[in-house]
């Protein structure tokens, strides 16, 4: 059914479409409003696109890509992002100010993991 191509093609803010957050394998999606609000804040500060490398992941896809079990990606609280023409350290500092509770710094792969976990602030580096 051709209509299904339009599933999740929904504008959810001036900067993001729901389809950017869907699981690549099954097109299912969960997205916490708190995560979206912080990503919009980041987008406004940067004044350039924030690419969602990975948003929601179903448990099967999470396992496939080697995500940790019970990853915050599996409950709509996390996104891995990439921004062009900005130093990753600089991007990290901006994200620290927005106060994401979880931030993973992936230097070699050049992306940040950001999440809004309800528990204490967590930082890691790979
Ligand atoms: Zn999936
Ligand atoms: Zn992640």
**How far, in Å, from the CA of 1 to the mean position of ligand 2?**
32
Whole-model pTM? 0.95
112, 95 contact by CB (below 8 A): yes
**How far, in Å, from the CA of 72 to the mean position of ligand 2?**
8
pLDDT of residue 47: 96
Residues in the chain where the model's pLDDT stays below 50: none
Cβ within 8 Å of residue 114, ≥6 positions away: 35, 38, 39, 78, 79, 80, 81, 95, 100, 102, 103
pLDDT of residue 73: 98
Determine the 3-state secondary structure of 98 from DSSP. helix
């Amino acid at each position: 059914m051709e209509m299904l191509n339009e599933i999740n093609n929904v504008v959810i803010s001036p900067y993001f479409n729901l389809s950017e957050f869907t699981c690549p394998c099954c097109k299912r999606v969960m997205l916490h409003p708190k995560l979206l609000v912080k990503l919009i804040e980041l987008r406004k500060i940067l004044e350039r696109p924030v690419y969602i490398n990975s948003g929601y992941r179903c448990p099967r896809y999470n396992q496939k890509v080697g995500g940790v079990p019970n990853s915050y990606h599996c409950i709509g609280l996390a996104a891995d992002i990439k921004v062009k023409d900005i130093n990753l350290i600089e991007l990290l500092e901006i994200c620290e100010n927005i106060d994401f509770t979880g931030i993973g710094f992936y230097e070699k792969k050049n992306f940040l993991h950001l999440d809004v976990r309800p528990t204490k602030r967590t930082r890691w580096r790979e």
